[in-house]
Chains A and B, each alone.
Chain A
Amino acid sequence: MKTPFLRLGPVLPAVLLLAAGCGKPKEPAPVPSEQVKSGPSLSGEMEVYVPCGVAGPYGAIQELFQKRYPDVKIHFDLANIDVQTKRILNGKGTPDVFLSLGDREVKAVAAKGLVDGDPLTYAYNSVGLIVERKNPCDIEDIRNITSPKVKTVAVPSQSNSSGYYAELALKKAGVWGGLQGRLWVTDQPALVKEQLKAGRAQVGIVYYPCTRETSKVGGEQQHVQGKVQVLGKIPTDLSGPIPAQAAVIKGCSNPEAGRAFLKFLREDPVQDIWEEWAFDRAVEAKTGARTTLYVYCGAGIRPFMDPVVEEYKKAHPEIRLDVGYAGSGCLLSQLSFARRGDLYLPGEDYYLNQAKERGFLIGQKLVAYLEPVLIVQKGNPKKIEQLADLARKGLKVGVGEPEACAVGRAAEAMLKQARLFDKVRRNIVLRAGNVPELGNQVTLKALDAAIVWNVTATQVAGSCDEIKLPKTAYEPSPVPVGVLKFTKHEAAARAFMGFCASPKGQDLAKAAGMTPAEGSPPA
């Protein structure tokens, strides 16, 4: 048997590893977080009221705090927030720190003049929807919880922030009236989950972070288990962001330590902990690329997206943007399966509306419009000047497949409106699944002409000539951006959405060959 090639065996992987630089692809090294400066030395005892809902993050935070102030002896009281609030209001408890999950409880305490200094918002909270395991009532989001299959909806009482904001959301979603007679209200939010587990309610509303269960302080994060399933966050569009507040209580024994603790809650590493436990940050991350946003972006509008990402990075170095490009329809399936990611930018609102119908969106904005144009080979060898010329015998014309991409639907509508559809159809040799392909085929001279978006024409301007069409011939197609309900960084995702629609974003859209969305539609 011949053997010389045997020696290739061990060599090949070695060569490949060398080529790979023997390491992982380089990613920007995380910048070390700002070192916590040691404060004035504090000592004495400090009492913290910790509601059950923050038991998880509190453990990690107390540990960090103790490292900074080892001389402070901390006692914490873990109980139902309602019980704790009442204790303070009745003068039976004067903790140094009252760590609330919302703002209603702190407001009630402040109204009685029991808060020392100002309360502080350490993070933003939200409410979430929980349903029975496997979702037998087929609840998609808050809007259809009035379904006749739902007999009982368990909600916290109005005196509790979660109940207060849940009611706001239910009212704004227009389902409050329809739920009357079916609400089961409790003073103890923890009982909402119990109601569902016991099969006595089909839907419940709890603080979204409470869907990450722990039984004890410093316990490990676990998603709700057993007979309950988390459907997701109720969009803050509906509930409004819930300020999670903490306060130092008047007459407490160690107000200095209490104030230091409050200040500590807004520091960078602690903000990370809140975020990890499904709160939204009150203070944006200062250094290092801590937040990664995943953007599903239609491949056709990459000429817009790439510069947007570059610009955004300059202004927000703390945000890392990972953009996945593919056909808009393909992305929709991908995000439906994956149930993760932060933003969706399909090339057309047709797909965004589908995402909306499936309940995946918690916000959207208009970015720009796309307008159909003709592209021909460089120098226009076939002398194509207008839409009607496409009917000329012997031309090879490309359009999009109407089922697969919006440019196909736009072309079909335009040709039908001009009564050219049947004549041009004879010349159509390619029905492409996406717009860039049409541009590429004209570049490669496989087509004489194609109907594409203005953004595509700008993209292939070096190798094709663009022929504009009269504005009366078509409807411009809106390009939207949406924030996905799966996002774990809602504030950051919304900020990026805002940037896309901002004047700067509009300039970039214009530069990419799109029609900016400012004002009314262009045609």
Chain B
Amino acid sequence: MPEARRRARVSLFRYLVVSGLLLMVGIITVTLLSMATYVDAGTFASAIASREVLFAVKLTALTTTITTALAVALGIPAGYALSRYRLPLLTLIDTLIDLPIVLPPLVAGIALLVFFGTPFGQWIERNVMPFAFTTQGIVLAQFVPASSFAVRALKAAFDGVDPRLEQVARTLGCNERQAFWRVTFPLARNGLVAGAVMTWARAAGEFGPILMFCGATRFKTEVLPIAVFLNMSVGNVEMALCVTIILMILATGALLAFKKLGGRGYLW
């Protein structure tokens, strides 16, 4: 086969592959940009300044921060254990942890509602604090899917650190705890932060469980995704799109941070 033709074939292959990618990029860009054409800058600015959006932004910031803190606090030991130890029933544990990621998020909401209908759930509501249809319930509704996700992302961060480094630290006189804090944790730190950022983004985008477990109540459970839903329900399309754009900006920022930090683990 002449050299020139072979090169042409490779080009054709590359052409096809790259055009597939470009098509993907094109579809997403056009879809996203079309939203921007519907909303002009003035509408967007006034929407952002509205009491409703400000409330939604604040409530989202507050709830997702608490959710992320809780999910990471739990995800670090859980992710580390999954990454390092040969646990009995590992496949079962792993499957259980993945379940909330794979199931439709709505299911988490239903499960929570059912749980708080049981005597134990009702005892918690009476003696600890009420959760169903409350603001604090939002944290719980975000936590169930987000914590699974956190475990997954944080485990990936620990997987990226060679266990032999820990073993070396142990031979040099560190105990388990010291080896973790002095070697593994600093090395995994970027990945951990990346995992936390994505957990936060995941919590910020949560809708189904909140709708089901906390209800869509204006100025009470109105986090950003609920604000989109509530505005769509009264035909306030501009406002809904503005909130969608805010969510998109947040998601893009989180993804960029995630990639910049070298985060790994599957996302959704």
- A interface list, Cβ under 8 A from B: 1-3, 5-6, 8-9, 12-13, 16-17, 19-21, 24-25, 223, 294, 296, 299-300, 302-303, 306, 322-326, 330, 333-334, 337-341, 434, 436-437, 439-440, 443-444, 456, 459-460, 463
- The complex places the Cα of A3 from the Cα of B190 at a distance, in Å, of 8
B:117-139 near A, CB below 8 Å: 117, 119, 122, 132-133, 135
- The complex places the Cα of A323 from the Cα of B216 at a distance, in Å, of 8
Is B38 an interface residue, CB under 8 A from the partner?
Answer: yes
Selecting from B108-116, B150-158, B174-182, the interface stretch reads B108-116
- Taking a contact as CB atoms under 8 Å apart, the answer to whether A16 and B193 are in contact is no
Chain A residues lying within 8 Å of B55, measured Cβ to Cβ, are 25
Chain A interface secondary structure, helix, strand, loop or mixed? helix
Contact of B133 among A5, A8, A322 (CB under 8 A): A322
- The complex places the Cα of A337 from the Cα of B64 at a distance, in Å, of 26
Shortest distance from the beta carbon of A325 to any chain B beta carbon, whole Å:
5
Task: Give the tally of cross-chain contacts (CB within 8 A).
Answer: 121
**Count of chain B residues near A, Cβ 8 A:** 48
Q: Counting chain A CB atoms within 10 Å of each CB, which of B58, B212, B234 scores highest? A: B234
Shortest distance from the beta carbon of A497 to any chain B beta carbon, whole Å:
19
- The complex places the Cα of A90 from the Cα of B68 at a distance, in Å, of 69
Chain B residues lying within 8 Å of A6, measured Cβ to Cβ, are 189-190, 193
- Taking a contact as CB atoms under 8 Å apart, the answer to whether B133 and A294 are in contact is yes
- Taking a contact as CB atoms under 8 Å apart, the answer to whether B116 and A303 are in contact is no
- Taking a contact as CB atoms under 8 Å apart, the answer to whether B196 and A337 are in contact is no
Chain B residues lying within 8 Å of A325, measured Cβ to Cβ, are 215-217, 229-230, 233
B204 to chain A: closest residue by CB:
A16
- Taking a contact as CB atoms under 8 Å apart, the answer to whether A1 and B117 are in contact is no
Is B97 an interface residue, CB under 8 A from the partner?
Answer: no
- Taking a contact as CB atoms under 8 Å apart, the answer to whether B232 and A440 are in contact is yes
- The complex places the Cα of A354 from the Cα of B232 at a distance, in Å, of 26
Chain A residues lying within 8 Å of B59, measured Cβ to Cβ, are 20, 25
- The complex places the Cα of A299 from the Cα of B228 at a distance, in Å, of 13
Chain B residues lying within 8 Å of A439, measured Cβ to Cβ, are 235
Chain B residues lying within 8 Å of A19, measured Cβ to Cβ, are 57-58, 61
- Taking a contact as CB atoms under 8 Å apart, the answer to whether B117 and A337 are in contact is yes
- The complex places the Cα of A17 from the Cα of B235 at a distance, in Å, of 32
Chain B residues lying within 8 Å of A456, measured Cβ to Cβ, are 235
Q: Assuming the A-B contacts A8-B257, A326-B216, are A459 and B234 also in contact, with contact meaning beta carbons closer than 8 angstroms in the complex? A: yes
Q: Assuming the A-B contacts A9-B196, A324-B216, are A460 and B62 also in contact, with contact meaning beta carbons closer than 8 angstroms in the complex? A: no
Chain A residues lying within 8 Å of B211, measured Cβ to Cβ, are 326, 330
- Taking a contact as CB atoms under 8 Å apart, the answer to whether B110 and A443 are in contact is no
Chain B interface secondary structure, helix, strand, loop or mixed? helix
Chain B 35-73: CB-based contact to A (< 8 A → 1; otherwise 0): 000100000000000000001011101101100110000
Is B144 an interface residue, CB under 8 A from the partner?
Answer: no
- The complex places the Cα of A198 from the Cα of B38 at a distance, in Å, of 69
- Taking a contact as CB atoms under 8 Å apart, the answer to whether A16 and B218 are in contact is no
A21 to chain B: closest residue by CB:
B58
- Taking a contact as CB atoms under 8 Å apart, the answer to whether B190 and A324 are in contact is no
- Taking a contact as CB atoms under 8 Å apart, the answer to whether B233 and A302 are in contact is yes
Shortest distance from the beta carbon of B247 to any chain A beta carbon, whole Å:
15
Chain B residues lying within 8 Å of A299, measured Cβ to Cβ, are 216, 233
Q: Assuming the A-B contacts A5-B261, A322-B133, are A436 and B215 also in contact, with contact meaning beta carbons closer than 8 angstroms in the complex? A: no
Chain B residues lying within 8 Å of A337, measured Cβ to Cβ, are 110, 113-114, 117
Contact of B217 among A13, A324, A330 (CB under 8 A): A324
B:189-248 near A, CB below 8 Å: 189-190, 193, 196-197, 200, 211-212, 214-221, 229-230, 232-235, 237
Chain A residues lying within 8 Å of B9, measured Cβ to Cβ, are none
Chain B residues lying within 8 Å of A302, measured Cβ to Cβ, are 230, 233-234
Q: Assuming the A-B contacts A6-B190, A12-B197, A19-B61, are A338 and B117 also in contact, with contact meaning beta carbons closer than 8 angstroms in the complex? A: yes
- The complex places the Cα of A338 from the Cα of B133 at a distance, in Å, of 9
Is B6 an interface residue, CB under 8 A from the partner?
Answer: no
Is B260 an interface residue, CB under 8 A from the partner?
Answer: yes
- The complex places the Cα of A170 from the Cα of B59 at a distance, in Å, of 49
Chain B residues lying within 8 Å of A459, measured Cβ to Cβ, are 234-235
A464 to chain B: closest residue by CB:
B235
Chain A residues lying within 8 Å of B212, measured Cβ to Cβ, are 330, 334
A-B contact pairs, 26 of them (CB 8 A): A1-B190, A3-B190, A5-B257, A8-B193, A12-B200, A16-B61, A19-B58, A20-B59, A25-B135, A300-B233, A322-B220, A323-B218, A324-B214, A324-B221, A325-B216, A325-B217, A326-B215, A326-B216, A337-B110, A337-B113, A337-B117, A434-B233, A440-B235, A440-B237, A443-B235, A463-B235
